Amino acid sequence: MEGHLFEYLVCNTVLAGCGLFITHLFRGFMAKRRWLALPPAVLIVRVALALPFLALIYVGCVYLTAPLYSYLFQRTGLFDFINQHLVYLLFDFVDGLFKFGSWVSIYIGFHFLKESRRSERESWRLAAALSRARLDAVRAQVNPHFLFNALNRGLIGESPPRAEDAVSRLASILRYSLSTDANATVPFGTELNAVTDYLELELLRFEDRLIVHKQIQPEVLDRPIPPMLLQTLVENAVKYGASQNPGISELSIFAAIDRVDGRLCIRVDNTGHLRMDASCSKGTGLRNARERLHRLFGNDAELKIAEDPPGLVSVAVFVPNRQPIVALPGL
């Protein structure tokens, strides 16, 4: 044995190279077929079915290295020896199953670990984006200017019932804003109720200068959307529409199901001009909304903004009808 250490080392090195080459080809095969994107159960079944084929290829490599073995150990007729002792091929087959099974287990295990960490990072980024949107909404609703215009325009003295209604709506808005931390999605109808309360307060502020239109299909009320999405669109429309227009401004909310791809289409139109310079905060709210959409629903979700015709800014959002890709961690 000691005299043939070099020969054994050469043979084992060749077989190890064959194993590395087989695993490299199999990894490329999995990448080309996108196996790693499959659900874990489906991936494990397919890999388990592929292992016997990998072991057979390995047995073939062992068989083909027989001439090298014969040359190094100065033995002849090794092919005949293997043919006469098929049990050795069976042992090599079991050995191949063990080796490739171990390699695949480690490889897939690292893949699952990597995906788990990536998903956790995406979840926390999504949670941070939602927290920013929620904080912006709360800040807009409790700032002194908003409260003064909503509650102190003669309502308390002239119309106590309207003042009481305004306070109730404000409380409802704040309650909704603070209760969406751990929810990946909310029904569109739930968000619409909060937006309605917000707009009622803004109508007190702008009086006759703001006209609101709604066109909502009943079937959209149960469709899931990211929380604070519609609220962000409407607040953005008020901020850059009625707040900057001394005349009469119109704000329209449209929601319907796209008959072609089944996505929920939400569109908010407002009187105004499209500006994305520094004076308009560089569209931070809409960028955050687009980021949350993509993190929850992937590339099937879209947010588009345009001014067409001139003087009418339109923000359109398309949300697919499926569960979100990642879930928000509880805050």
| Eight-state DSSP code of residue 329 | P
pLDDT of residue 27: 85
Q: Answer whether residue 300 shows pLDDT above 70.
A: yes
Distance CA 243, CA 239 (A): 5
Boundaries of every domain in the chain: 2-118, 143-319
Residue 319 binned pLDDT confidence (cut-offs 50, 70, 90)? very high
Q: Report percent pLDDT > 70 for the chain.
A: 70
Q: Answer whether residue 54 shows pLDDT above 70.
A: yes
Could you tell me where the DSSP H helices lie in 155-267? 155-158, 160-178, 188-206, 229-240
Global confidence as pTM: 0.56
Q: Answer whether residue 122 shows pLDDT above 80.
A: no
Which of these, 16, 37, 14, 329, lies nearest to 183 by C-alpha position? 329
Q: What is the distance, to the nearest Å, from the Cα of residue 199 to the centroid of all Cα atoms in its chain?
A: 30
The residue to which tokens 């909502």 are assigned: 216
Q: Answer whether residue 176 shows pLDDT above 70.
A: yes
Q: Answer whether residue 67 shows pLDDT above 80.
A: no
Distance CA 192, CA 174 (A): 14
To the nearest 10°, the Cα dihedral for 142, 146, 150, 154? 120
213-269 pLDDT per residue, tens: 999 999 999 999 988 889 889 988 988 888 888 889 999 999 999 988 899 999 999
Tell me: domain 143-319, CATH 3.30.565.10, correct?
yes
Sign of CA dihedral 257, 260, 261, 266: negative
